[in-house]
Amino acid sequence: MAVLSLTLLAVGCGDKDTDDSGDGATVDVVSEILALQGDETGGEALFASSCSGCHGVDGDSGTAPMLSAKVPDASDDHIVDVMINGIGNMAPVSLENQEAADILAFLRASF
């Protein structure tokens, strides 16, 4: 009985909700964010307070990668995943779903 319980627990804790790309974001969270209507103006303010410290106020003048070189070729899914989970030296940013959608709208309008 104990073996059956552990087997069911292991199956129940599988990664069925994670993105197959291995980049960590759950499909549900990314999908929820992408389903929201982002506000470019709100995203600009959030970018200034949450992102510009590393990426620079223009997205290109900071110590982090230049967004003008990264954003145009990146999918919305990837951008959202990077925001909420981080990548490389970038730590995850603590954002509400709407805030992430707003920043995405700003990034798409700006780069």
Over the stretch 19-73, which tens digit does the pLDDT of each residue have?
444 445 477 899 999 999 999 999 999 999 999 999 999 999 999 999 999 999 9
Tell me the HSE value of 70 on the side-chain side, using a 13 A CA sphere.
Answer: 14
Residue 2's CB: how many other CB atoms inside 10 A?
A: 6
pLDDT of residue 108 exceeding 90, the answer is yes
The CATH number that domain 15-110 falls under is 1.10.760.10
In this model, does residue 8 exceed pLDDT 60? no
What's the chain's average pLDDT? 83
**Single pTM value for the model:** 0.77
| φ, ψ dihedrals at 87, nearest 5° | -165, 140
Q: How confident is the model at residue 9 (pLDDT cuts 50, 70, 90)?
A: very low
